[in-house]
Amino acid sequence: MNHTVFVLNGPNLNMLGKREPGIYGGKTLEMIGDECRDAGRTLGFEVDFRQTNHEGVLVDWLHEANDKASAVLINPGAYGHTSIALHDAIRAISTPVIELHLSNIHAREEFRHKTWTAPAVKGVICGFGSDSYLLALQAAKTLIKEQ
């Protein structure tokens, strides 16, 4: 069966590799995207990997995923901490969504400890650097099997 997993990336993730590598690692988003596409093939699905700095675009992509994706991985970046719109968009779709973060948001500044998106998703993976994406892809495979 041909499945597609959307991997959606929010604001400032286009700056990976340059932005605070001590926190976010040295890999670029393009490198992470390549790793995700390779892992997706191994797991038996296509990965549609995207990034935007615009909240409304993420909302539109979540709506699109409802018709075109078997699962969604989202690294909402700072929008996770501020966006009720993303929370509502996740709740509005039937496609399962997994939230992920490169850093352990619970070990950082207090304002990062809570995300508005977390209550709307199936699960959250954080703190494993770029491997957070690969772990989330494994989880997506499990969710797809359960469908």
Q: How far apart are the C-alpha atoms of 25 and 15, rounded to whole Å?
A: 11
Residues in contact with 109: Cβ distance below 8 Å, sequence separation at least 6, in sequence order: none
CA distances in angstroms from 75 to 1, 9, 42, 62, 146, listed in the order given: 26, 5, 22, 12, 23
* Count of CB atoms situated within 10 Å of the CB of 78: 15
The catalytic site residues sit at 24, 101
